[in-house]
Amino acid sequence: MKNNTNYLTSIRGLACLMVVIAHIISVIPGVGKNVSGCGKIGVWLFFILSAFLLTFQWLNKEDFKIKDVIEFYIKRIFRIFPCYIVTLIIAFLVGYITEPKTVMKHILLMEGMGHFWTIPVEFIFYILVPIIMFTIYKIRNEKKSILFLIILFMISAILSPYTLYEENSINIRWYLPVFLMGMILAFIYQKSEKRQKQQVIYDVIFFVMMLMMTLSIPYVRNLIFKIEPDSYLLNKYLYFGLAWSIVILAIQNSKYVIDYLNQSKILIYIGKISFSLYLIHFIVLNKIKGNNVWINSLLIFIISMVIAIIMNQLVEQPMIRLAKRINKKLGKEKKEEDNGKIQKNRNFN
């Protein structure tokens, strides 16, 4: 990747803000219907980014090794579960979740009430990533690998048509096409990176795509086209998955947008705490009530940010560092074991 990849963190921050703000507005009486389904737009961006970044990491490896698979799962487990479990405990203590068995079902990825539905979906995708990448390494051809992913995309989209989508389902069948788009994006991104074209036309493409997505917001549709707000956005993950893929490629090759995102301290910081903020905001939203809806909304956002910062510092970052230490130790032990085998063979010869 380019030396400065802060823009990817900024994009994650943007996705998080879209979800949080949409959820906060959605509970305001008489206003919420105007942003119905808008939180999902941010979720589809999260899915695209997740698949894209994980695939790109695998593409930078020379070969497929079991050691890399173990390291991958250690990173994912320590990245997701500590914060997730802490949030579930908080949810139980404040009464958002009322039954201990419900907490356990969430930990076992068997249930996903409220916004928690994305966690089982993400983690099931993590299980699939090494399997898909193993096949790609066996193919050993870039064009055939992309074709393989496109075929998988088409099969999954046909077998699970978005018109039958079950809202907030924890079944990955509905979202697999979006993740596969992210994986395809990683291949295109890698190829585009080698050309390193930075042109204003890509800035234009970025703004056009953002304008098109803005026009899809129920409130904007009603304002411009006089279409009554409804929940039509909830199952449009294929369209937004494609739109976000184009946006990310446009940003990569843009002349001005990429510089702004690389230097946006606010978006970068929110991107860094985005997982904690995503987890906690919906609980705060359901527990903080006030008479003035706008002051209440601001209070929800501020409290969510404060808790997210604390969780990020006390749980998320320490667990990420622990995962790195474990992987480093495992890598060192594996290297020593390999050196021992080499020495043994030399002695035998």
User: Cβ(250)–Cβ(210) under 8 Å?
Assistant: no
Query: Taking the C-alpha atoms of 9, 10, 16 and 21 in order, what is their torsion angle to the nearest 10 degrees?
Result: 170
Q: Is residue 24 part of a domain?
A: yes
> In this predicted structure, what is the pLDDT of residue 342?
46
Q: Is residue 122 part of a domain?
A: yes
In degrees rounded to 5, what are phi and psi of residue 92?
Answer: -70, -40
The per-residue pLDDT for range 168-209, each reduced to its tens digit, is 999 999 999 999 999 999 999 988 776 667 889 999 999 999
Cα 205 from Cα 212, distance rounded (Å): 11
Q: Is residue 71 part of a domain?
A: yes
Q: Is residue 349 part of a domain?
A: no
Q: Tell me the pLDDT band of 223, cut-offs 50, 70 and 90.
A: very high
> In this predicted structure, what is the pLDDT of residue 347?
47
> In this predicted structure, what is the pLDDT of residue 335?
59
Q: How many domains does the chain have?
A: 1
Q: Is residue 11 part of a domain?
A: yes
Which of 2-16, 79-93, 149-163, 329-343 is least confident?
Answer: 329-343
pLDDT at 66 over 80: yes
Q: Is residue 236 part of a domain?
A: yes
Q: Is residue 1 part of a domain?
A: no
Q: Kindly report the number of other CB atoms within 10 A of residue 306's CB atom.
A: 12
Instruction: Write out the residue range of the structural domain in which residue 18 sits.
Output: 6-344
The per-residue pLDDT for range 17-29, each reduced to its tens digit, is 999 999 999 988 8
pLDDT at 345 over 80: no
pTM: 0.92
Q: Is residue 180 part of a domain?
A: yes
